[in-house]
Amino acid sequence: MELSKLAKNLKPSATLAITAKAKEMKSQGIDVIGFGAGEPDFDTPDNIKDFAKRFIDNGFTKYTAAGGIPELKNSIIERISKDYNVNYEPKEIFVGSGAKHVLYNLFQVLINEGDEVIIPAPYWVSYPEQVRIAGGTPVIIHTLQENNFKFSSIELENAITSKTKILVLNYPSNPTGSTLNERELKQIAEIVKKHNLIVVSDEIYDKILYENNKHISFVQLDDEIKKQTILINGVSKTYSMTGWRIGYAAGDPSVISAMGNLSGQSTSNPTSISQKAAQEAFSGSQDEVGKMVEEFESRRNFICNELNKIYGIKCSIPDGAFYVFPDISSFFGKSYNGKEIKNSVDFTNFLLDEALVAVVPGVEFGSDKNIRISYATSIVDIREGVRRIKEKVDKYWS
Ligand SMILES: *Cc1c(COP(=O)(O)O)cnc(C)c1O
């Protein structure tokens, strides 16, 4: 059958190829250590699961409003107010089937053919693809590890043209873990106001931040900025609820309403039970979050320390999220078993074939000098994984 232009231009994911290879190796009984996962390894907290079970038993199992139930919208509003002292109304909240779906709807309702969307790299893999699917043009600002993966005001100004409509921010960042401080956010805000840009601020790792770093939401800077920003968040990362599929957007009511209309004609509501679970996640006890973050922090310290002991690997200590994004470019031009390493995919294959460790190549995130290692896995696996990497690097090169 003849596929649409859209389908033909969809980019197959190199991550999926690596994941598939790792899975196949595992199914053959090969003991692969997985550092690829983009989700917490903890179980969803009991209070959330129990709350959801009650609503299954109560028959809360029918269609709901396409853009989310009022009770969940209220708990989102309360959460944002408690965390950032910023107030929203229910008509300014859209709930979708995960933050990914929310972002998809958002780009669909904002972007016209040819609109430019500025995305700082390294970026979360789906931003450029979702922008392209909506007919927009991603404009990438490349950042450097030496600068903690931050862009300057000048670089931002230089990326702006008459076609620029949106700036995407994601901090703490997936994949780098880098975050932005108040001074940096204010600098960005000045430029955003000057050029009247829409900011899509993906703050899904807002709670996963280390060493008393305090997250400042872009919407709390001032009223004008709040009006120009669509805040994105969800339950997947903070509450270890990736499979429940609940995310939200907060912002301009006309945008929110359009997103609801789009869901109304495509997915309908996010799962009723999941909405109840998310309501409890935002409104119930937040104690489990602190425990998870504490555990992540000790893993982060361990893995960075160990990786930096390995010849040729340069790992910066991330501020938040649960990934490290080390530079592995010093291996480019080196060979093993007659195979030359030319890029991050080659190095990823080296790690998988030789060390039996699965990571994600940086090229997927717009930075071919790096690999992404998720430490959302047990400390036992982390210890064994880095030991294997060191062993194979030592064997061939150091
Ligand atoms: C995981 C992730 C998302 C998507 O999360 P959902 O599971 O769809 O809610 C969005 N943005 C970033 C940066 C992520 O890492």
Q: What is the pLDDT of residues 192-229, one digit of tens each?
A: 999 999 999 999 999 999 998 899 999 999 999 999 99
* Residue 12, pLDDT above cutoff 80: no
**Ligand 1 near 98 CB (within 6 A):** yes
**Ligand 1 near 132 CB (within 6 A):** no
- Inter-residue contact 102 to 232 (CB < 8 Å): yes
Q: How far is the CA of 100 from the centre of ligand 1 (A)?
A: 6
Instruction: Write out the CATH class of domain 61-285.
Output: alpha beta
Q: What is the pLDDT of residue 21?
A: 83
Where are the domain boundaries for CATH 3.90.1150.10 in the chain? 5-43+288-396
Write down the mean pLDDT value for the chain: 96
The pick from 94, 107, 168, 237 for probing ligand 1's pocket by mutation, whose C-beta has the most ligand atoms within 8 angstroms, reads 237
* Residue 11, pLDDT above cutoff 80: no
Checking 26-33 for CB contacts under 8 A at 24+ apart, the result is 30/356, 31/356, 32/352, 32/356, 32/357, 32/358, 33/356, 33/357, 33/358, 33/377, 33/381, 33/384, 33/385, 33/388
Where are the domain boundaries for CATH 3.40.640.10 in the chain? 61-285
Instruction: Write out the CATH class of domain 5-43+288-396.
Output: alpha beta
For the segment 122-139, the average pLDDT, to the nearest whole number, is: 96
Q: Quickly list H helices, 160-250.
A: 182-195, 223-228
**Ligand 1 near 137 CB (within 6 A):** no
Total-model pTM: 0.96
**Ligand 1 near 242 CB (within 6 A):** yes
Q: What is the pLDDT of residue 128?
A: 96
Q: What is the pLDDT of residues 105-116, one digit of tens each?
A: 999 999 999 999
Q: What is the pLDDT of residue 10?
A: 84
For the segment 69-77, the average pLDDT, to the nearest whole number, is: 98
